[in-house]
Amino acid sequence: MADDVVTGAEALVSAAAHSGADLCFANPGTTEMPLVAALDRITGVRAVLGLHENVCTGAADGYARITGKAALTLLHLGPGLANGLANLHNARRANTPLVNIVGDHTSTHLPYDAPLTSDIAALAATVGTVHTVTDRASIGEATRTAFDDAHRLLGVSTLIVPADHQQHSAPVQPVKPAAMPSRAPVSVEAVQNVAQRLRTAGARAVLLLGGNALSRKGQEAAGRIAAKTGLALYSETFPARAERGGGLPAIDRLPYFPETAAAVLREAQAVIVAGAEDPVAYFGYDGVPSVLTQPGTLVRLARPHEDAEEALLELADLLGGVDPVRPGPLSESPGSGEPLSGRTIGQVVASVLPENAIVSVEGGTSGYPFYTASASAPSHTVLTNTGGAIGQGLPCALGAAIAAPDRPVIALQSDGSGLYTAQALWTMAREQTNVIVLIAANHTYNVLRTELGRHGNAEFGPQATALTSLADPRVDWVALARGFGVPATRAATVAELRHTFTDAVGIGGPSLIEMAL
């Protein structure tokens, strides 16, 4: 900046850049125009356009999961924020540091309740902290505070900025940068306490990993502990980010359905949670306990915001951990003529997976089988849907690809959830991201048919059938992808998937393969 006087918008962009922001997933409108102009005047923050705000927020989540620092979004008023709330909900559940900048009407215009006026702060408060800029002078400090919140709380923080405060000019006021994200350390006493519990429980213990316990170091330490004591290892069911493969111990996810998950934990004298939430049922059902652990067995080594990785390293040393058990090579390889199913897709994807890939997994059809198969795959990173708001997988893959342009990204995506944010394909094309989208196209909301059965409805009437079917008409993903500028093809057998996926990995993304189930 040559001048001493900058607009509020320029002060905001400058403060964001000083707090570590280098990218902004944006869909701005009229009330954000000074910010859009400022992005050209202040260097350091590159804007990436999404065709829908839920693409922006989901991409920001994926970006932050890979970079480890707060991602930035720019959204238009209450409706723009509302459109992005579902993936902000997922980001909240992922403990992702994320800052939303939301424009509002010029402050003097707010009392007139113009058509686009709404309660932005109430919406934002459902996913995290909220700050509202009340004058031009405080805009830099307010931006820093928003980043501080995101980094300190590992969560979502929203800054509401009326258009006049963006537009007015004032002398530059230096703003010190926000603190970078960090995790609170676990006390020595807590580690010692867990060590004591594990010495008593021996093999009748479960260690449940989440948060940064799912780093390579964390899982190695957990593997050493398991090899020493014989305890069982699980990952939380929907990790924000889990390293996997490349010789890491094979650590399955805690099962999804509460009866199965409770059965896994039933015999344990101690269930140690390290970076994971206390294990509870995903949904409540009549006669099925919400709490999955037996009374008195739950022991918290590290909460999701704490440094579970370091705690596990200390624990492994205390217990005298030994070399972990490594998974063998991929045991099963489906025949070329076999039809595609969740199982065969998981095996093919795991067997073709390139080294150092990022895999964004959304949907049960191929998600679970892939996880089972991928323990033996090359080293990769898995991102999952942490909050259950569907439409997360494609935006998350997009954000991850922009965060790590040198890594191949695979989006292993069910069709029903993929249709929520198919617009992400367009930004994948525009940004020339190396994302290969694999759509498991069974043309049903299959999980709902299972749930209908669980609610005692063995036979579906015509309305229940229609409400869980995407088959009439069949969505043509190849056409959709081409509509958004992404080359696409279709695979119907194991051989076709192996062939097209191998080709796609060789060429590099973006591309899409519709896997016909």
Q: Which of residues 145-204 bind a second copy (CB under 8 A)?
A: 163-164, 167
Judge contact between 31 and 103, C-beta under 8 A: yes
Q: What is the rounded distance in angstroms from the CA atom of residue 437 to the CA atom of residue 312?
A: 35
| In the complex, least distance from residue 289 CB atom to a second copy, rounded to whole angstroms | 10
| In the complex, least distance from residue 376 CB atom to a second copy, rounded to whole angstroms | 28
Positive or negative torsion for Cα 487, 490, 494, 499? negative
Cα(first)–Cα(last) distance of the chain, in Å?
57
Judge contact between 96 and 123, C-beta under 8 A: no
Q: What's the Cα-to-Cα distance from 97 to each of 45, 170, 236, 285, 422, rounded to whole Å? A: 17, 30, 20, 33, 24
497: tokens are: 């998937």
* 105 binds a second copy, rule: CB under 8 A: yes
* Identity of the residue, 141 or 277, whose beta carbon is nearer to a second copy in the bound complex: 277
* 211 binds a second copy, rule: CB under 8 A: no
Q: What is the rounded distance in angstroms from the CA atom of residue 393 to the CA atom of residue 397?
A: 6
* 296 binds a second copy, rule: CB under 8 A: no
* 373 binds a second copy, rule: CB under 8 A: no
* Identity of the residue, 252 or 476, whose beta carbon is nearer to a second copy in the bound complex: 476
- Map the footprint of a second copy across residues 475-494, applying CB under 8 A: 475-485
* Identity of the residue, 57 or 347, whose beta carbon is nearer to a second copy in the bound complex: 57
Q: Which of 17, 22, 216, 285 binds a second copy (CB under 8 A)?
A: 285
- Map the footprint of a second copy across residues 410-469, applying CB under 8 A: 416, 419-420, 422-423, 426, 429-430, 447-448, 451-452, 454-457, 460-464, 466-469
Q: What's the Cα-to-Cα distance from 10 to each of 33, 106, 144, 179, rounded to whole Å? A: 12, 17, 14, 21
Q: What is the rounded distance in angstroms from the CA atom of residue 181 to the CA atom of residue 150?
A: 8
Q: Which of 322, 330, 470, 495 binds a second copy (CB under 8 A)?
A: 470
Query: Burial level of 507, CB count in 10 A (0-12/13-18/19+)?
Result: exposed
Q: Which of 176, 230, 282, 507 binds a second copy (CB under 8 A)?
A: 282
Q: Which of 17, 22, 68, 79 binds a second copy (CB under 8 A)?
A: 79
| In the complex, least distance from residue 346 CB atom to a second copy, rounded to whole angstroms | 23
* Identity of the residue, 303 or 498, whose beta carbon is nearer to a second copy in the bound complex: 303
Interaction pattern, residues 121-140, with a second copy; x per rule: CB under 8 A: -xx-xxx-------------
Q: Which residues contact 377 (CB under 8 A, 6 or more apart)?
A: 244, 245, 246, 330, 350, 351, 353
Residue written as token pair 């940004």: 431
Q: Which of 15, 23, 26, 146 binds a second copy (CB under 8 A)?
A: 26
Q: What is the rounded distance in angstroms from the CA atom of residue 320 to the CA atom of residue 176?
A: 44
* 234 binds a second copy, rule: CB under 8 A: no
| In the complex, least distance from residue 111 CB atom to a second copy, rounded to whole angstroms | 8
| In the complex, least distance from residue 138 CB atom to a second copy, rounded to whole angstroms | 19
* 295 binds a second copy, rule: CB under 8 A: no
